[in-house]
Amino acid sequence: MDRKQMCVANVQYKKPSADGTKQSRNLLRYLTYRESRDEAARYTAGKDRWHDHGMGGSVADIAARCDDLRSEHVLAFSLVVNPNPDLMALVDPEDREDFVWELTEGVIDVFFDRRGLDTGVEWAGVLHHRLTDDMESPGLHNPHVHVVLPGTVYSEEHGGRVPLFFSRNRKVDHIEMLHRTTEDQMVNLMDRYVGPEWEVRYDQLAAVREEQTAITEDEPHGWTIDEDEREWPVWSGIRRTSEATTSLGFYQLYPTPNDDDEESVSIQFRPLLNGLTHQEAERLAQVLGIAMKGDLEQLKALAEVLGQMTPAERSDLLEGMEPTQPALEIDL
């Protein structure tokens, strides 16, 4: 796999101004009380939300600490350590929280050690258990950690605190160093938590997904018209979600802007029914490609009805049905 896709590690900062302080406090409140934009925090009884490594364990404490340790230009840094959800799906659900915390701690320790800051740096982190909102793979478990870092760090050489900075130039690129450190830590943890075959398993998943897009080389199963009255082809198809499940939905050509601000098109999948077995999804896609009768809205309606059935009811419906049968006898 492309190692750069293993984990996202992004850094931002807030300025030591009135607006920066307000934004920082709002961010801390959001990180404390939310899992995502659409979901409140999931509290565990008797367990603190923040992991305190010298920056405090509450909104008030962390905000005060940021103010105490700020530099002239930086109130605080925020870092997100976000592993690829497809890789997290290979990790036992009971181990994912430990995995992400161990990843975060390893990234911070090794990164600052590589920078020569052997005295370490204070930080506080909060774990979020959001679900992905990716259009092609929504609803995947996406555990990640938000980290707060101070604007200064203690330097033995200077006998006091000096500004913490992230350079990105020809001489030194701390962002690239952070990304390489994150990749190294991910590889080590995947080997230990999943096993040395994890990369082969991921590549197999990616290969299956690539094969499944080949349906778009056939004649379209139907057409749809966008808000600009442009007509686009659609195909009833499937997309492998994980090693155990597949989603049923449709492929469509979508207009996408490119680097030159010109419009191009790309093939994208939109799921309509998730959590199916591979065989069930493939069979349903074949039947619905005919049953939709060229109408995307008909496909969506059929998928909605199927989603209200139990697995046993869907199995009974498909039993003995030939792939070329012209339609599903479902009352919409």
Residue with tokens 């994912």: 96
Mean of all residue pLDDT scores within the chain: 90
Cα separations in angstroms, 224 against 16, 232, 236, 269: 51, 5, 13, 14
| Torsion angle of C-alpha atoms 292, 294, 298, 300, degrees rounded to 10 | 80
User: Which of the listed ranges 37-51, 70-84, 221-235 does the model predict with the highest average pLDDT?
Assistant: 70-84
Q: What's the CA gap between 127 and 72, in Å, rounded?
A: 29
pLDDT value at 36 more than 80 = no
Q: Which residue has the higher pLDDT, 325 or 288?
A: 288
pLDDT at 315: 87
pLDDT bracket for residue 329 (50, 70, 90): low
Amino acid residing at 52: D
- 3-state secondary structure (DSSP) of residue 301: helix
Strand partners, 223: 233, 295
Residues in CB range of 191: below 8 A, 6 or more apart: 198
0.85 cut: is pTM over it?
A: yes
Contacts of residues 161-169 at CB distance under 8 Å and 24 or more positions apart, as own/partner, are 161/69, 163/71, 163/72, 163/73, 163/74, 164/71, 164/74, 164/77, 164/121, 165/74, 166/11, 166/77
Q: Which residue has the higher pLDDT, 178 or 322?
A: 178
pLDDT value at 45 more than 50 = no
Amino acid residing at 291: A
pLDDT value at 49 more than 90 = no
Nearest to 41 by CA among 56, 28, 23: 28
Residues in CB range of 299: below 8 A, 6 or more apart: 221, 222, 234, 236, 250, 272, 288, 291, 292
**Which pair of tokens denotes residue 42?**
């999931």
Residue 200's CB: how many other CB atoms inside 10 A? 11
Where helices occur in the chain by DSSP H, the ranges are 18-33, 59-68, 85-88, 96-114, 174-193, 198-212, 278-291, 296-307, 311-318
- 3-state secondary structure (DSSP) of residue 284: helix
Q: What's the CA gap between 211 and 269, in Å, rounded?
A: 13
Q: What's the CA gap between 328 and 193, in Å, rounded?
A: 44
Q: What's the CA gap between 31 and 126, in Å, rounded?
A: 7
Q: What is the pLDDT of residues 210-261, one digit of tens each?
A: 999 999 999 999 999 888 888 999 999 999 999 999 999 999 988 877 666 6
Count how many Cα atoms sit within 13 Å of the Cα of residue 113 in the half-sphere of its side chain: 7
CA 44 to centroid of chain Cα atoms: 23
* pLDDT, average across residues 107-122: 91
Q: Which domains does the chain have, with CATH numbers?
A: 3-196 (3.30.930), 212-318 (no CATH)
Contacts of residues 299-306 at CB distance under 8 Å and 24 or more positions apart, as own/partner, are 299/221, 299/222, 299/234, 299/236, 299/250, 299/272, 300/272, 301/332, 302/328, 302/330, 302/332, 303/248, 303/249, 303/272, 303/273, 304/272, 305/330, 305/332, 306/248, 306/273, 306/330
Share of the chain above pLDDT 70, in %: 92
Nearest to 174 by CA among 166, 185, 162: 166
pLDDT value at 325 more than 70 = no
Q: Is 206 exposed, middle or buried (0-12, 13-18, 19+ CB in 10 A)?
A: middle
pLDDT value at 331 more than 70 = no
Q: What's the CA gap between 213 and 201, in Å, rounded?
A: 19
